[in-house]
Structure 1
Amino acid sequence: MYDDILLPTDGSSATTEALDHALTIAADKDATVHPLYIVDKRHLRAADDDTTEEVRRSLEEEATHALDDARVRIEDEGVTPETARREGIPHRAILGYAEEADIDLIVMGTHGKNGRERLAQLGSTTERVVKNADLPVLVVEIGD
């Protein structure tokens, strides 16, 4: 049922906890886990002309660390990783990669919010993925 599991990563604690769930499912199903880092092009557009390359380098370094950490953890659990990096608007790039790689399940972490906090988070990447995905999305709520 789940042969390919997508794990969007930014290297945060939300990703780390979501990875736990992705690994459990992947181990049970002998699935491949796809850690994906999105270089948010909005950060590049917002940078001054003289700092764009510095911002790009910083984001690329973050991507390398996040993907390396995920890859090592996945391999340590005996699961096959397939890392990828894309540039774009995060929710769009996640959904595009999911289609391109024929992903069966997306696993994402999010910080648990309630009341007004939840309303303030309506624009989050996770929510946009959930609203627009044509495949199952497992949202792992992360406590603060």
Structure 2
Amino acid sequence: MALYDRILVPTDGSPKGNRAVEHALALAAVHDADVHALYVVDTASYAGTGMEATWAGIDDLLREDADEAVATVAALAEGTDVAVETTVAEGAPGREIVRYATDAGCDLIVMGTHGRGGIDRLLLGSVAERVVRRSPVPVLTVRLGEEAEGSTVDDAETTEP
């Protein structure tokens, strides 16, 4: 029996974010699991601010970026036996990631973190931190910052709910 059947990898489409994707694909290959690639268009930032009219104008561009981001995950899996399902959602990223993991029956979330600390984390918050705190399934975080260059899978952190 495999430890993981469905691995969720939220992506922001950035090259650094692909480090988390690589971890997710490697784990999926070892555990014969499927990967669910999720991009969340952050519409929550504009709700109720009067920016809705402006938001409507850029929504299509953001959807294109989102589609490209999840397509990149699928492309990285080409040539492997890992099946990738891609989804684009809208809303507050932390909430949508946890909701998707629950609804899709994912048993692990692998996501990047920029490793913010101190006042930055207090002022800015962190999607990864919100997911770690709210997720009903284990979360593996992969540091994406420059200090992560040359790090290995052993450097990733896991949390249990």
Aligned match for 1:126, one of 119, 128, 137: 128
- Structure 2: give runs of 5+ residues left out of the alignment: 147-161
Q: State the TM-score, normalizing by the size of structure 2.
A: 0.80
- Structure 1: give runs of 5+ residues left out of the alignment: none
Partner AA of 1:91 in structure 2:
G
2:108 matches 1:105: yes
**1:54 alignment partner in structure 2:** 57
CA shift digits 1:27-64 (9 cap, x unpaired): 00110000001111124435635422222112101101
- Return the structure number with greater helix share: 1
Partner AA of 2:75 in structure 1:
V
2:133 matches 1:93: no
Q: How does 1:1-144 map to 2 (within 5 A)?
A: 1-45=3-47, 46=49, 48-120=51-123, 123-144=125-146
How large is the RMSD of aligned CA atoms in angstroms? 1.8
Q: State the TM-score, normalizing by the size of structure 1.
A: 0.89
* Contact 1:14 1:111 (8 Å CA) reproduced: no
Structure ranking higher on relative contact order (CA contacts 8 Å, 6+ apart): 1
Structure 1 residues 116 and 53, CA, compared in 2 at 3 Å: closer, same or farther? closer
Identity across matched positions, percent: 44
Aligned residue-pair number: 143
Partner AA of 1:136 in structure 2:
P
Question: Could you tell me how far 1:74 is from its partner in structure 2?
Answer: 1.6
Which segment drifts farther, 107-116 or 70-79?
107-116
